[in-house]
Chains A and B, each alone.
Chain A
């Protein structure tokens, strides 16, 4: 019996091994340049790490066992950062807030972006509103709306019509709102605003209407909120089968997310609701041209900006004078050397200017750049003097 079992196990293993090899061989020979394995959770392939090779990459195959840096996280540190909450309410903090307080806070801190009563209209996400009616399959009907150049209303993705779970509303407001001052609200205030938004969506908790100023939301009540679109998402990501449900969903790409066909000659591509409407060339109807910075393609110099960091005098100095005057190795007074410039200035500004224009000692007229006007030279000399004053 034992022998037989072992034999079966061996046969099973051989079969499993050979089928894996067959798959691997098929995929590397037929489908790509690298050895790969299909069936990844996202619908793609994975690549083996073998003998220091990982697709085109080499990697260090020496053991990394024992590599360990960092330090244990303390209980207080984990408590400070681990404040997320799960859909079942795990992790929600204590506290409470009323719809009335939420109304007040919302008007003061949220309405400016999200509109009165969460109704949107300011360009930021709309939080309430939209028709929550469902069809016979439990699908929110308006989420099936398909817009074509304004012919149909857009599907509204509000808390009441679209969001799957309410704990998300609490954690997001607490962590990321108000927009300009995230994390500035207390837990009580977050419960209050959450209550207000849920109330604006006409929701109930255990049959109890929330649209009442006196309604107070807390952890226990928030856990019980079931949003209308709770089942409006696929693939399934909950429970022990989640990973396999996701894998199966993405494996069937043609059905789940759309895929093409590699047709090479006389290909047909009909569409429309009946799948029979001939495809046509559709041009841009309203081109979006308002982009920042505006479209520009020239390979030219950027326009001079007023009050740029470098003055015209400094630019001229850089181009014509800096080579000799940056330091004293050429015998010229170095810019920034106050003592040298003090002795230069003993001659008086007029003589310094004449020397700069006509040349003196080893210095050629205008530093060798005869394109400079006398006025330019004056500007440069002033820049050099100002840059070489004693600092007090």
Chain B
């Protein structure tokens, strides 16, 4: 095309030109190719796209960035079932696991559990008191806390109620609601031992009370042994300040343990020689077993896993027989590090080894992967994780045999996705 012709072509006529060329070439192609293999031209390639012919937004039009508008359906969701009578101040929201990649959850999608609403703490008025069986009881401001040497760790947080609706049978039809009460982030803060070394913990101190400053005054008792091993006081999540929903400005972080123990809007740490029996470690967050007795101080979330692709939200309905496709998912253990994950296609009768991929870190989400040749046959797809504390994820029956179906908390039984001949995926359980 010479310069003169090009100048005469307005954008509209340029489009017409390409349209005509496209139809001519399609006709030409049809004469040499079998009709069955004739591919229609993609309009998005043949024509200019809108964002290529218009000026975009100013560089910093969103000083705090937001996701693409097209991702507006990728959000946390909740349900009246997970609240008290539909009251959303004491409720929980679920992370959209089906839309996540890697092991880090964006801060806006981190699941949220509140017992008295999301508190908005003024960081200038926030104080942390550490006292009780220590030589030097202290008060810290946020700036003073941040003066201590920091550490960062990638850790999952899981509500011990994750999957609680499923004890008696499958209830929810989506991955988001089957397993969405968990997330994984890089948390930054101070290792509690670093502070305690200077405060002089007395030898008779066996327990620590952690107390929140919100309306629910969330309180939990932790053994000092754990506190001195790896407990942190964190103020940052994936590089930025904690979100209000995650306890801004400071929460406790007990790696691998119930998210409820990782007290948000933290206010006070007291050391003592006896446990406190707070409400959220007696009336709730205790797992009633079939024996009529309940497990208390149920700390670590046990080894667990879930296949995230395929899942009900992302089925295999677009696959053709013979397609080689990746099965992938997440495994995690509050007891240690994931060693491996097995996959079953027949509801747990036979298993093959999946491979771990990406970072394999203690008490963090770990991705697993298996390449599968899709055959269009019905499947009962399962994953089963095991960790370096020598724990293997139980079947529904194995877990039920020990704790029954009324425990509410700490459900880590193997999840089954039924894949039908069309590639649709649904939540089922293999149980007696």
Contacts and interface: CB of A to CB of B under 8 A. Distances in A.
A60 B392 contact: no
A165 interface: yes
Interface residues of B, number: 142
Interface string A267-306: 1011110010111111111111111110111111110000
B109 to A, nearest CB: 13
A113 B84 contact: yes
A45 interface: yes
Nearest to B86: A123
A238 B275 CA distance: 7
A259 B140 CA distance: 42
Interface in B50-66: 54-55, 57
A301 B70 contact: yes
B192 interface: no
Contacts of A289: 173
A257 B225 contact: no
Contacts of B351: 263-265, 267
A121 to B, nearest CB: 10
Contacts of A172: 278-279
A302 B69 contact: yes
B295 A269 contact: no
Interface stretch (B1-9, B17-25, B393-401): B393-401
Given A42-B257, A55-B362, A123-B85, A264 B428 contact: no
Given A258-B402, A291-B177, A279 B431 contact: yes
A71 B130 CA distance: 11
Contacts of B55: 319, 323
Nearest to A55: B362
Given A256-B402, A277-B432, A292-B79, A77 B292 contact: no
Nearest to A298: B73
Interface string A216-258: 0000000000000000111101100011001000100111111
Interface string B377-412: 000100010111111111111111111111000100
Nearest to A134: B292
A265 B350 contact: yes
Interface string B194-225: 10011000000010010100011101000101
A275 B401 contact: yes
B75 interface: yes
A242 B224 CA distance: 12
Nearest to A166: B277
Contacts of A149: 168-169
Given A55-B337, A67-B148, A267-B351, A259 B391 contact: yes
Contacts of A286: 171
A86 B84 CA distance: 28
A238 to B, nearest CB: 7
Nearest to A27: B388
B282 interface: yes
Interface stretch (A138-146, A186-194, A330-338): A138-146
Nearest to A57: B153
Contact of B398 (A164, A250, A259, A287): A259
A313 interface: no
Contact of B277 (A56, A145, A168, A183): A168
Contact of B77 (A44, A263, A295): A295
Contacts of A78: 129, 131, 137
A374 B300 CA distance: 67
Nearest to A262: B392
Contacts of A295: 77, 174
Interface string A154-183: 110101001111011001100110010011
A176 B116 contact: yes
A157 B140 contact: no
B369 to A, nearest CB: 17
A30 to B, nearest CB: 9
A291 B129 CA distance: 40
Given A45-B389, A66-B198, A284 B169 contact: yes
A297 B286 CA distance: 36
Interface stretch (A15-23, A31-39, A354-362, A381-389): A31-39
A286 B169 CA distance: 10
A86 B80 CA distance: 35
B394 A42 contact: no
B334 interface: yes
A71 B145 CA distance: 11
Contact of B337 (A34, A162, A298, A319): A34
Interface of B: 54-55, 57, 69-73, 75, 77-81, 84-87, 89-90, 115-116, 129-132, 136-141, 144-145, 147-149, 151, 153, 165, 168-174, 177, 194, 197-198, 206, 209, 211, 215-217, 219, 223, 225-226, 229-230, 256-257, 267-268, 270, 272, 274-279, 282-283, 286, 288, 290-300, 302, 313, 333-337, 339, 342, 347-351, 359-362, 380, 384, 386-406, 410, 414, 416, 418, 426-432
Given A168-B279, A283-B426, 10 more contacts: A31-B390, A33-B360, A42-B299, A44-B389, A149-B169, A235-B295, A257-B295, A259-B302, A266-B350, A293-B75
25 contacts: A33-B360, A34-B388, A36-B337, A41-B299, A42-B299, A45-B388, A70-B144, A72-B137, A143-B288, A146-B406, A159-B283, A162-B288, A176-B216, A182-B215, A234-B295, A246-B223, A256-B295, A257-B403, A259-B391, A259-B394, A279-B347, A281-B418, A283-B428, A284-B426, A299-B70
Interface of A: 27, 31-34, 36, 38, 40-47, 55-57, 59-60, 64-73, 77-78, 81-82, 84, 86-88, 113, 122-125, 135, 139-141, 143-149, 154-155, 157, 159, 162-165, 167-168, 171-172, 175-176, 179, 182-183, 232-235, 237-238, 242-243, 246, 250, 253-267, 269-272, 275, 277-293, 295-302, 318-319, 323
